[in-house]
Structure 1
């Protein structure tokens, strides 16, 4: 799933957003050691966070039908997971980096989801949309300064791209055979005398009633 999104973003950024400008697209961690080796205009899409998109979680079961329209199985709905990418531009001059970021911002904002033509593998066959958002404020429990501190690098202008990916590998429950006759069929037969309820037995077969004492409470 994650590698399929990587492939889709690489082709989307390289061929459509930057229109084949000869910029290298990588997914490596932008550490000091990596930055020192960059020798060509590069766009880095670093995957720094993976968490479930709880707003898109659905309940219940989905039916699967055969060619006759009969339910053959039921499965849980897909669960969406947010893949957060830190997008940075790397060139020899800050002005060129800003131009790259401007092109990325304007180009990616045209899409509310990853284009279906860019999806491959399981994401292409499932037929579900893959929403994405760009440059939204980060959650309260996470800041970009913390990400750069963890990487050991200096704070750098960046774009935050979040892709919500459906995971369809959920449990499948086979359905029982369809009902072919309506109603319930009842049968009648002889019942052992000892097994019959007391109310249905003849009076001669019932145990005698016991007489008891009656009590009355009076107040003095």
Structure 2
């Protein structure tokens, strides 16, 4: 999930024209040695804090359907995590860095969530909103000064960006739909000693189960129609 958030952030920043103008977008730790090797304008989004949001933890399990509408697996609810990034701009002059950081700020504050078109992998499969908060005053994460101190670098203008993303639950395969019939035979016999024919269960309208009996393969019936939430019964 984390790398999918990285890809979506890169795509969102790239759409602002940064990459087209030759600005690199990286996710490296901006240490002193890393900064010394920079030779091109760069936007660095350093992920430095990951925390679960326990208030959004669910219970139970949801159903996963195949293309025909049959249940193929059951999945536990997703768990939500907050990913906090330290976003900085790197250039040869402070004025250029501020211009780049301003462009990044304008792009990120315009979006309250990562665009659906940029989501890939499990994020796209879940179809849930991936929230985005930029330069929020209530970011519950280590202070930027503490991060710079841990990296061994000098304090620099930066943006705090938080992404709230779901981690897909564990999926367990469900048993396949029943396609074989069941025949019940009793011990009662007729007067001539012949056994009483078995009583047929399932497969209404079938008079002869064939040489293999009801254990033979049968064509699957169409899956039942699933009602969407909010639909009323006729």
TM above 0.5, yes or no, is yes
Rg larger in structure: 1
Query: 1:136: which partner in 2?
Result: 136
Q: CA deviation at 1:165?
A: 1.5
Select between 164-173 and 22-31 the one with higher mean Cα deviation. 164-173
In the alignment, structure 1 residue 6 sits paired with structure 2 residue 6: yes
CA distance in 1, matches of 2:139, 2:88: 20
Q: CA deviation at 1:38?
A: 0.7
Query: 1:125: which partner in 2?
Result: 125
Select between 121-130 and 37-46 the one with higher mean Cα deviation. 121-130
Query: 2:148: which partner in 1?
Result: 148
C-alpha distance after superposition, 1:20-55 (max 9, x if no partner)? 222111111101101011111100011111111223
Query: 1:16: which partner in 2?
Result: 16
Query: 1:165: which partner in 2?
Result: 165
| Superposition misfits of 4+ residues, deviation over 6 angstroms | 66-72
1:16 aligned counterpart, secondary structure: coil
- TM-score, normalization: structure 1? 0.70
C-alpha distance after superposition, 1:145-191 (max 9, x if no partner)? 1111100001111001111111113254858x99xxxxxxxxxxxxx
CA distance in 1, matches of 2:117, 2:141: 35
Query: 1:99: which partner in 2?
Result: 99
CA distance in 2, matches of 1:122, 1:114: 14
CA distance in 2, matches of 1:121, 1:67: 18
For the aligned residues, what is the CA RMSD?
2.6
Query: 2:211: which partner in 1?
Result: none
CA distance in 1, matches of 2:29, 2:128: 30
Matches within 5 A, 1:30-109: 30-64=30-64, 74-109=74-109
Q: CA deviation at 1:58?
A: 2.4
Query: 1:194: which partner in 2?
Result: none
CA distance in 2, matches of 1:42, 1:139: 24
Where structure 1 has 5 or more consecutive residues not aligned to the other structure, the ranges are 179-220
CA distance in 2, matches of 1:10, 1:129: 17
Give yes or no for contact 1:14–1:23 (8 Å, CA) kept in 2. Answer: no
Select between 124-133 and 82-91 the one with higher mean Cα deviation. 124-133
1:156 aligned counterpart, secondary structure: coil
Question: What is the aligned residue count?
Answer: 178
1:85 aligned counterpart, secondary structure: strand
